[in-house]
């Protein structure tokens, strides 16, 4: 008796052999498949990560989801259950230095929370990154008074919140109005909300049964002199959640997906101890009650005080990429099962259609690109100057969240009606990614800040396109693709810089000049992010030691870069960096790369290594069986 054995490669089959040889081949294929999965998994994640840390987080999340989803409750009750469940993280014994240095354990916690529970992610990133992080990086964190509060927050006796945004001040926080007047006689700061526009907008302060401590951004006044914006520690709710005197909290309405206690918060003559003013290394109030500083620029002092927000961007980007990973796993698994019609054939899976297959694999390639960029930026955390790291985090944040929103919209449509239901998670991931796009700075504003840095400082290294010989000018050649991506970014940057220089020479108003060229600035930000992601992708492929994994990753990189070149082909044709003949071949080569990738789809999805129970979608596994109510 003879049987056919199939191999996962571009030829898609082996010659028919006898049963013994076939069994050996099957075992060999399993081993090779396992090796491929591991190599792809190492590409996506830090291969040196402690597996015990990941397992501890997974077990915590399983317990957490069981606690908060065990019964139908009101949003307020579920919010309370999430806070109480989060208290269990005290057993992780996360330390102050881990928070200030943004340890791998903190980042991994954000990654896994991102797809498991967006509400818990929001509560904890504010608690760890914004509140505790801001306090711990200040010189005042070494005082006994502040140490006591830090210990309280680390042990979840209170939850930390961050109060910066006001009803009228978001991206323009430097202009906020909340006052902190220094009273030298009592050596305290008096916190007040002077106007309706100064109310702190939408912090998670509404839960009436949870103690809260805020890191509050307020404008310091000493002898009625405006000294700039600084952080202050303010207790909002005491034991059992009782509001402190002078603190007013008005709950806001519900948001889709998030079960968060958002509220409008204001203050009336709330006194806080002298040690609660986090004035930083540059500033102090002396024994005579005078404000002194070694940094004369108030805006620079402010930017230092909100520096922790940059770390928040990195953590939120980690959560976005992991959430997208879960969504892709759902979409690929479902697409292998869902049947549809085909001319003169029996029912086929929706993956049989080129339109569906190309759509999902293009999205998959973008995920691998943004994950490459994420890993590159994460490595810069401790190996780069602060400004370069900050700019890289800007790029990662807007690129990952913008692209993920587009991908999730597409996945929702590809899943049809199934994509609309909460239990299938796609819509939840989409809403939570919108939250990330808004958090820590709107993406358009972040792009604008990045372009300003690129144009006015030496923290940006302009790409240097290396032209390849005509024999290598094939649209499938990685060197040629690299040249095209570098060339476009280089040209867009040079043109934009020249336009601003001309406007400045002619005495044009800076704001009017920015508005005139802002669309091109956004185009440059996108080109920079794509080129940076591509370079990171190629670098990590070169480090991959598994031959089959390298081939899979190379095809994913080609699909990512060629799809982008197809989208921007008009620019390249106008600037004659790409020939019409090369343009005509792009789609053919995308199709060919996807056809080579298709047999490996299960290996790729299995490399994601996310337990199905943490995603919780019925579309994972046999979805017909999961929805079989006739036989239950």
Closest C-alpha to 565, from 584, 552, 551, 550: 584
**Residues whose CB falls within 8 Å of the CB of residue 528, separated by 6 or more in sequence, listed in order:** 395, 450, 454, 489
Q: Could you tell me the pLDDT band of residue 1, with boundaries at 50, 70 and 90?
A: very low
Mean pLDDT of 92-103: 87
Q: Is 246 left (phi over 0), alpha (psi -120 to 50) or beta?
A: left
Q: Could you tell me the pLDDT band of residue 18, with boundaries at 50, 70 and 90?
A: very low
pLDDT value at residue 436: 86
How far apart CA 121 and CA 29 sit, in angstroms, is 39
- Percentage of the residues of the chain whose pLDDT score is greater than 90: 72
Which of 18-32, 37-51, 86-100, 491-505 has the lowest average pLDDT? 18-32
- At 575-588, the pLDDT tens digits run 999 999 999 999 99
Residue 265: enclosing H or E segment and its boundaries? strand 262-267
CA angle 193, 175, 119 (to 5 degrees): 70
pLDDT value at residue 100: 86
pLDDT at 426 over 80: yes
Buried b (16+ CB within 10 A) or exposed e, 1-15: eeeebeebeeeeeee
pTM higher than 0.75: yes
Q: Could you tell me the pLDDT band of residue 12, with boundaries at 50, 70 and 90?
A: very low
pLDDT value at residue 308: 78
Q: Could you tell me the pLDDT band of residue 411, with boundaries at 50, 70 and 90?
A: very high
How far apart CA 168 and CA 193 sit, in angstroms, is 13
Partners of 3 in the β-ladder: 17
pLDDT value at residue 268: 98
Mean pLDDT of 362-379: 96
pLDDT value at residue 509: 95
pLDDT value at residue 472: 72
Tokens at residue 193, please?
Answer: 């909300």
- Percentage of the residues of the chain whose pLDDT score is greater than 70: 93
pLDDT at 624 over 70: yes
Q: Could you tell me the pLDDT band of residue 596, with boundaries at 50, 70 and 90?
A: very high
How far apart CA 13 and CA 29 sit, in angstroms, is 12
pLDDT at 134 over 90: yes
pLDDT value at residue 8: 32
- At 603-621, the pLDDT tens digits run 999 999 899 999 999 999 8
pLDDT value at residue 385: 64
Q: Under a CB-based contact definition with an 8 Å cutoff, are residues 140 and 275 in contact?
A: yes
């Amino acid at each position: 008796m003879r049987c056919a054995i199939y191999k996962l490669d571009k030829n898609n089959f082996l010659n028919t052999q006898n049963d013994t040889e076939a069994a050996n081949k099957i075992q060999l294929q399993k081993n090779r498949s396992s090796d491929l999965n591991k190599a792809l998994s190492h590409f996506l994640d830090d291969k040196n990560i402690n597996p015990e840390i990941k397992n501890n987080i997974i077990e915590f999340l399983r317990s957490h989801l069981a606690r908060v989803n065990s019964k139908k409750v009101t949003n307020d009750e579920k919010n309370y259950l999430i806070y109480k469940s989060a208290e269990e993280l005290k057993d992780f014994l996360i330390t102050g230095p881990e928070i200030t240095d943004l340890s791998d354990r903190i980042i991994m916690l954000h990654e896994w929370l991102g797809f498991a529970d967006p509400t818990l992610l929001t509560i904890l990133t504010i608690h760890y990154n914004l509140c505790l992080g801001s306090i711990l990086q200040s010189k005042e964190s070494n005082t006994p008074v502040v140490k006591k509060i830090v210990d309280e927050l680390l042990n979840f006796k209170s939850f930390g919140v961050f109060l910066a945004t006001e009803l009228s001040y978001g991206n323009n926080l430097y202009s906020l109005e909340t006052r902190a007047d220094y009273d030298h006689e009592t050596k305290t700061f008096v916190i007040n909300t002077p106007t309706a526009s100064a109310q702190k907008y939408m912090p998670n302060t509404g839960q009436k049964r949870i103690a809260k401590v805020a890191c509050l951004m307020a404008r310091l006044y000493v002898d009625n002199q405006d000294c700039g914006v600084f952080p202050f520690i303010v207790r909002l709710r005491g034991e059992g959640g009782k509001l402190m005197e002078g603190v007013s909290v008005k709950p806001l309405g519900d948001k889709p997906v998030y079960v968060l206690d958002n509220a409008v918060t204001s203050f009336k003559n709330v006194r806080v101890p002298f040690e609660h003013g986090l004035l930083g290394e540059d500033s102090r109030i002396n024994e005579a009650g005078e404000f002194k500083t070694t940094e004369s620029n108030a805006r620079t002092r402010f930017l230092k005080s909100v520096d922790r927000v940059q770390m928040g961007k990195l953590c939120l980007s980690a959560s976005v990429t992991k959430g997208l990973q879960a969504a892709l796993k759902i979409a690929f698994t479902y697409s292998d099962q869902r049947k549809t019609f085909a001319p003169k054939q029996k029912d086929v899976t929706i993956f049989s259609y080129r339109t569906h297959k190309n759509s999902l694999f293009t999205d998959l390639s973008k995920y691998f690109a943004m994950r490459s960029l994420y890993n590159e930026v994460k490595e810069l955390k401790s190996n780069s100057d602060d400004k370069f790291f900050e700019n890289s985090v800007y790029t990662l944040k807007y690129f990952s969240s913008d692209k993920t929103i587009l991908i999730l919209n597409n996945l929702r449509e590809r899943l049809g009606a199934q994509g609309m239901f909460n239990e299938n998670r796609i819509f939840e991931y989409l809403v939570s990614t919108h939250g990330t796009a808004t958090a820590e700075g709107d993406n358009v504003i972040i792009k604008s800040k990045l372009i300003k840095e690129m144009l006015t400082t030496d923290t940006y290294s302009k790409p240097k396109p290396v032209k390849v010989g005509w024999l290598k000018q094939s649209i499938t050649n990685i060197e040629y693709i690299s040249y095209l991506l570098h060339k476009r970014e280089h040209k867009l940057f040079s043109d934009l810089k020249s336009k601003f220089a001309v406007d400045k020479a002619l005495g044009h108003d800076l704001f009017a000049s920015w508005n005139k060229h802002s669309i091109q600035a956004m185009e440059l930000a996108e080109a920079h992010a794509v080129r940076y992601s591509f370079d990171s992708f190629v670098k990590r492929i070169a480090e991959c030691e598994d031959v089959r994994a390298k081939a899979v990753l190379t095809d994913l990189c080609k699909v990512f870069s060629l799809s982008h070149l197809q989208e921007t082909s008009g620019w390249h044709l106008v600037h004659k960096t790409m020939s019409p003949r090369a343009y005509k071949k792009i789609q053919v080569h995308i199709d060919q790369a996807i056809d080579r990738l298709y047999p490996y789809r299960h290996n790729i999805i299995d490399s994601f290594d996310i337990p199905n129970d943490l995603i919780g979608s019925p579309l994972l596994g046999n979805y017909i069986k999961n929805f079989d109510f006739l036989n239950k």
